[in-house]
Structure 1
Amino acid sequence: MENTTKILFPYDQSLVKELPLLDHNAIETILNTAESLFNDQSNWIAPFKRIEILEKAASIMNERSEELIHLAISEGAKPYKDSKAEILRAIKGVKLATEHISQLKGEQIPMGLTEASLKRIAFTTREPIGVVAAVSAFNHPLNLAVHQIATAIAAGCPVIFKPSSNTPLSGLALAAILKEAGLPEGWLQVILCDNEMAEKLVTDSRVHFLTFIGSAKVGWHLKSKLPPGTRCALEHGGAAPVIVESDADFSEMIPDLVKGGFYHAGQVCVSVQKVYVNEEICDRFIQQFSEQTNKLIVGNPFEETTDVGPLITPKEVNRVEEWVNEAVEEGAKLITGGKRISDTCFEPTILFNPSEKSKVSTNEIFGPIVCIYPFTNRDEAIKKANALEVHFQAAVFTKNIDAALETSKKLNATAVMINDNTAFRVDWMPFGGRDSSGLGMGGISYTINEMTREKLIVFKSKSL
């Protein structure tokens, strides 16, 4: 009997689609196809052709944006207004990848600087790195697919894409659009398989580059299994600390942090999670932050008024509920929320001063929970913010330029937002975690560069 995976609408667990899983033989065929395409340079797609394909794909995506929005909601359940923003970002991402193709260039290396290097001219070129294996996450099903697929195509690499088993439909839709746009057969292969088959795929010696978005546990495990010479980029999660000083502008900050904390029910790798607030303004902060949080509408993500949708599975609701109950038992004050609304939805929740040992303090929550901690000394708050092994994006709210710059310097993060929430991102900026939060830097142009490699050519001639 054929193994299948069921895609369920996270809000009510209704069946959206059932798709077959690939077996061992199919994986072997897929790897051979990708390797054969790359090894024969006559198959390579010329840069002008890559530009044509991606430009057409962006155009088709734009025409079908409403269809793509509904598909993303049906599998990932991000609310309509946020899914719409994701699809617009994905279209922009394809355009960014297209534009960067013209920037894939080398440089001249000076010769004649020593007598031994006379009569030579040297330059570098950039070539595709080879077969790319891409493993993706559930929380941005179309935009993450663009970040891993459009970049590989722009770089000139055959790509094998494994979407999350919860949200494969957007990636499959992108593959169909790229095929319609003229991408030759075999250059993009989307696979649905179990974890064992996925590991076999990405750790195969025929793969030259692994791009992985998901949990640190899985990412570092896969990296440890990679054969010699295979490069990789890993994007995991963080706890997104925020430092709030006493001079922060409440009118700007409160809506920003509410959005950053509860966007997509907190299922974002840079979602606001730990907010350290100067105790001089802590009561005021809690009052205004909870007032705004209580106004959020939780419900069906297809409703345009919904602010917060369900978590991806009922299992995640159970986990979040356990973590919140544990935090309260261990001394946290429950400001608002704290209860499940249904099997799939959880109230936007604010916890005050949970123990530094509680799971909500030590782990990435990936749910609609924000923790607030008071501080008197900013250096102590920064020390606590830096205490975990995960370091991704962070933020500071203050109108004091010296405090902003000092805090930005001391926070252990790859990016620090000043007077903006930790979840801010545009797709042309560098984006990634450090330490256990990841390896390498994402962002469309950065990823394309990672998927290429330099070749040095030295030309010797007596005529030079």
Structure 2
Amino acid sequence: MDMLINGQWVATKETIPVIDPWDGSLVDTVPHGTPQHVDQAISAAVSAFRSWRFSPVAQRMEILRKVADTVAHYLEDFARLIAREGSKTIREARKEVRRCVNTLSLSAEEARRLYGQTIPFDSFPGGEHRHGYWYREPIGVIAAITPFNDPLNLVAHKLGPAIAGGNTVVLKPATVTPLSALKLAQAFQDAGLPAGVLNVVTGPGGEVGDPLVSDPRVRMVSFTGGVEAGLHITRLAGLKKIGMELGSNSPVIVMADCDFDRAVADTVSGAFWAAGQNCIGVQRVYVQRPIFERYLEAFVAKTKTYKVGPKLEENCDMGPVITEAEAKRIESWIREAEASGATVHCGGQRGGPIGTVVEPTVMTGVTMAMKLGCQEVFGPVVALWPFDELEEAVTLANSVDYGLHAAIFTRSLSAAHYAIKHLECGGVIINDSTDYRLDQMPFGGIKNSGLGREGVAFALLEMTEPKVVCFTE
């Protein structure tokens, strides 16, 4: 597949292979973009913005709806592509495609809700003969940088609001999973999006990402990825808007009065969805001591039922992680924790056809001094701890430098409201795992989990600016 610059599909002599992480087979190749391609893409976006910023809202809505319809029509094609190039099973991939359709549909609807407001200038002496209002304008060229774990829907979360708001975009998808994004770009082109409004450059972050985020013609960087890359971007970006979602180490608190079976099922699913490569995946589970041993036993038993294998098989529950290097890193974190006294109750081994499968792993005895305790593992590993009082669990939940989602299972409104008030995070989920997101809710975190909020309506506000109009009689 080629990359898209100014309405043209561009190939290069040097290409990048896209490899299926299950068996190492070649899925496709994409161009190896260069800084020159980035410059061309930004120039195209700048030029297109001159007219696209004034495009009728109805036109933007129509394009977004057409793209949503196209994705829905070709759901199985998109799903198989997601499953081949990434880590998701075919069932997980189908859910991502359905979410993408929803994200684009929401973007079309939110385009009509860019409201302004009148301003009472005469509310302060000297303003008696003034009247006016404010409204929102697009900010210009947006650099969108997306990760591998949701290669379609997280692209839609950037493109949908940006285009709905009248901006133009240069997208750099994850190097290991660029195909879904390119297929989506083709749908935008087929829907009649003018040349230059959306440009897609493929290539390594150091070669195409750095010149993209540092270019002064780019007025906003929207990035989803890791903390180190986020810090790197903030140093390069200069004076422009930045929106970032940088992951987490999500805690779940399980009270003794919970719906036991539901808590077990939801936390297991939340820990191992997409092989744990999920920014809101369950990594730490704090279980009240009276039910801890029973909960651990049930959690391990449920985990052992997971079928790990080829992603396109309908009964597959979990696939590989994205690369062998990532699998080795995750395995090393497990071995490091074991060497320091932690216990592996199930899983803990690496295998698969090319060494990319990490078994669903359940551990106890993990401490906050271990990487598994305080960092984001981004893999199928979860640790359980006992606690006595809710205040203790909340303190433990807050003890990391992340704050994206947290969750609590309880039948007590008092406990739920205590958690809501005291958990330091962007979202508190009650009686479900941290791995829940509705694409229209504000999504983001505090501390090292990021800056700003996604979720279509909220991203649209981030991607537009208010302009004040004042008439003097």
Identify the TM-score tier after normalising by the shorter chain: over 0.9
Number of the residue aligned with 1:290:
300
Q: Evaluate the alpha carbon distance shift between residue 26 and residue 290 of structure 1 in structure 2; reply closer, same or farther with a 3 A threshold.
A: same
| Farther off after superposition, 19-28 or 48-57 | 19-28
CA offset digits 1:378-401 (Å, max 9, x no partner)? 222221211111111001111111
Number of the residue aligned with 2:146:
136
The CA deviation at 1:90 is 0.2
Structure 1 CA distance for aligned equivalents of residues 287 and 65 of structure 2: 46
Structure 2 CA distance for aligned equivalents of residues 21 and 276 of structure 1: 45
Instruction: Give yes or no for the alignment of 1:184 onto 2:199.
Output: no
Number of the residue aligned with 2:224:
213
**Aligned residue runs from structure 1 range 374-413, under 5 A:** 374-413=386-425
1:354 alignment partner, one of 344, 350, 366: 366
Which AA in structure 1 matches 2:368? Answer: E
CA contact (8 A) 1:273 1:369 kept: yes
Structure 2 unmatched runs, 5+: 1-11
Instruction: Give yes or no for the alignment of 1:426 onto 2:442.
Output: no
CA contact (8 A) 1:34 1:187 kept: yes
Structure 2 CA distance for aligned equivalents of residues 310 and 113 of structure 1: 62
1:156 alignment partner, one of 166, 184, 208: 166
The CA deviation at 1:410 is 1.4
Structure 1 CA distance for aligned equivalents of residues 426 and 183 of structure 2: 32
Structure 1 length-normalised TM: 0.97
Q: Secondary structure at the match of 1:218?
A: helix
Structure 1 CA distance for aligned equivalents of residues 399 and 435 of structure 2: 20
Number of the residue aligned with 1:305:
315
Structure 1 CA distance for aligned equivalents of residues 440 and 53 of structure 2: 29
CA contact (8 A) 2:398 2:424 kept: yes
Structure 2 CA distance for aligned equivalents of residues 207 and 110 of structure 1: 34
Number of the residue aligned with 1:4:
15
Structure 2 CA distance for aligned equivalents of residues 437 and 388 of structure 1: 11
**Aligned residue runs from structure 1 range 93-104, under 5 A:** 93-104=103-114
| Farther off after superposition, 11-20 or 180-189 | 11-20
Aligned residues: 459
| Farther off after superposition, 334-343 or 63-72 | 334-343
Q: Secondary structure at the match of 1:459?
A: strand
Structure 1 CA distance for aligned equivalents of residues 392 and 261 of structure 2: 26
Structure 1 CA distance for aligned equivalents of residues 187 and 124 of structure 2: 54
CA offset digits 1:345-376 (Å, max 9, x no partner)? 11101001212211111210111111001112
Number of the residue aligned with 1:20:
31
The CA deviation at 1:339 is 1.0
Structure 1 CA distance for aligned equivalents of residues 256 and 25 of structure 2: 47
CA offset digits 1:212-258 (Å, max 9, x no partner)? 00001111221122222x10100011110111111111121111111
2:453 alignment partner, one of 441, 447, 452: 441
Q: Secondary structure at the match of 1:252?
A: helix
| Farther off after superposition, 90-99 or 1-10 | 1-10
Structure 1 CA distance for aligned equivalents of residues 298 and 287 of structure 2: 13
Number of the residue aligned with 1:333:
343
Structure 1 CA distance for aligned equivalents of residues 368 and 447 of structure 2: 20
CA offset digits 1:160-180 (Å, max 9, x no partner)? 000000100010001000000
CA contact (8 A) 2:37 2:201 kept: no
CA contact (8 A) 1:37 1:44 kept: no
CA offset digits 1:99-143 (Å, max 9, x no partner)? 001100110001222441122211011110110000000001110
| Farther off after superposition, 183-192 or 116-125 | 116-125
Identity %: 36
Structure 2 CA distance for aligned equivalents of residues 48 and 421 of structure 1: 38
Which AA in structure 2 matches 1:457? Answer: V
The CA deviation at 1:448 is 1.1
Which AA in structure 2 matches 1:421? Answer: S
The CA deviation at 1:288 is 0.8
| Farther off after superposition, 203-212 or 324-333 | 324-333
Structure 2 length-normalised TM: 0.95
Q: Evaluate the alpha carbon distance shift between residue 251 and residue 116 of structure 1 in structure 2; reply closer, same or farther with a 3 A threshold.
A: same
Number of the residue aligned with 2:130:
120
Q: Evaluate the alpha carbon distance shift between residue 43 and residue 353 of structure 1 in structure 2; reply closer, same or farther with a 3 A threshold.
A: closer
